[in-house]
């Protein structure tokens, strides 16, 4: 954990990966069982009322980037609907507690985003239990590496697209109907959209689709007063990576390829989502904010 407000060398702000980073869990994994624990910002993040009274949906809110974003949104004054998978209850319980400790409402809605019905239920939960929705942060994602296209099954290709692309489409479609002017949608892309690793054929392709979807939808709904943007993280230390997102043997060097030479932490992603959700980014539309430790992007 590190204080994100202290003036310091960003390369030194968090540890580089070590042999200790080599670990495996079955997907979706539990952050509570990771060593070292990713920094979710809970020990340090200070809200300044930038999302006061807002009503947010955060997918993948139990762990990793979604968890850090849910905590930051709550501390900025937003009530939050938390989407995650039923197997992740242990992680989600902690996030519910952190949101409530920030004095905000937390509505837990576990389920499978590969189902359109569930995506609609997530939006309904916000409308019914928060009284509306004005922030949609699509952060859930699936990443399973496969070295050879011959071994990439149709089932996996389909599941990766359902989770990363279809769920975003279904959630946007259901939420926009309810969103007042001033609302914001933030999708989650990746460095993989521009520099795809060969072992992430399906995943990287979904991330490029997310960038393009973001740009197209942004133009469509700007006149409704809704802004759509994306965040594109680089290598971030989360459960995604230790549950088949990367081969286990590369984890001791995870993030070493970035100019900062270390992995990012979820806490370093949260402020990007807060910025794009808040009125401070009023003239930023259809953009992708890269938070990747310095890797060049188009």
Contact positions vs ligand NAD (CB under 6 A): 28, 60, 62-66, 84-85, 88, 112-114, 139-143, 163, 188, 190, 233, 235-236, 238-241
Residue 188 site contact among Mg ion, ligand NAD, none (CB < 5 to 8 Å, cut-off depends on kind): ligand NAD
Nearer to ligand NAD, 138 or 281 (CB): 138
Cα–Cα nearest to 143, from 57, 68, 195, 206: 206
Write phi, then psi, for 11 (nearest 5 degrees): -65, -30
Return the C-alpha torsion angle 273, 244, 23, 97, nearest 10: 40
Residues 4-43 that bind Mg ion (CB under 5 A): 28
x/- letters, 70..109, toward Mg ion (CB under 5 A): ------------------x---------------------
Nearer CB in complex with ligand NAD: 80/239: 239
Q: In the bound complex, which residue of the shown chain has the CB atom lying closest to ligand NAD?
A: 64
Q: Is 203 a catalytic residue?
A: yes
Task: List CB contacts of 238: < 8 A, sequence separation 6 or more.
Answer: 31, 38, 63, 64, 65, 266
CA distance 143 to 64: 13
Residues 6+ apart with CB under 8 A from 46: 5, 75
Residue 63 as a binder of Mg ion (CB under 5 A): the answer is: yes
Q: Pick from Mg ion, ligand NAD, none: which does 276 bind, CB < 5 to 8 A by kind?
A: none
Contact between 72 and 271 under an 8 Å Cβ cutoff? The reply is yes
Per CB under 5 A, residues contacting Mg ion are 28, 62-63, 88, 239
Task: Give catalytic residues, as residue numbers.
Answer: 203
């Amino acid at each position: 954990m590190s204080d994100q407000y202290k003036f310091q060398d960003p390369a030194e702000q968090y540890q580089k990966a070590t042999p200790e980073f080599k670990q495996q869990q079955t997907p979706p994994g539990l952050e509570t069982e990771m060593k070292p624990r990713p920094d979710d910002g809970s020990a340090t993040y200070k809200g300044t009322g930038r999302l006061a009274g807002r009503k947010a949906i955060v997918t993948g809110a139990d762990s990793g980037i979604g968890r850090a974003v849910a905590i930051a949104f709550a501390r900025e004054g937003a009530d939050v609907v938390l989407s995650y998978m039923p197997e992740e209850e242990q992680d989600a319980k902690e996030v519910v507690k952190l949101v409530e400790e920030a004095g905000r409402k937390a509505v837990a809605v576990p389920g499978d985003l590969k189902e359109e019905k569930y995506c609609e239920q997530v939006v309904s939960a916000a409308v019914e239990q928060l009284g509306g929705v004005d922030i949609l942060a699509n952060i859930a994602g699936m990443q399973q590496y496969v070295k050879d296209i011959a071994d990439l099954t149709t089932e996996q290709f389909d599941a990766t697209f359902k989770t990363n692309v279809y769920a975003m489409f279904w959630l946007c479609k259901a939420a926009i109907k309810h969103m007042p002017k001033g609302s914001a949608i933030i999708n989650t892309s990746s460095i993989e959209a521009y520099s795809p690793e060969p072992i992430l054929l399906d995943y990287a392709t979904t991330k490029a689709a997310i960038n393009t979807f973001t740009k197209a939808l942004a133009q469509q709904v700007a006149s409704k007063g809704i802004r759509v943007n994306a965040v594109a993280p680089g290598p971030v230390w989360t459960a995604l990576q230790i549950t088949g997102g990367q081969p286990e043997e590369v984890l001791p060097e995870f993030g070493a390829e970035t100019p900062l030479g270390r992995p990012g932490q979820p806490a370093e992603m949260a402020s990007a989502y807060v910025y794009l959700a808040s009125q401070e980014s009023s003239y930023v539309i259809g953009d992708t904010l890269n938070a990747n430790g310095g890797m060049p992007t188009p």
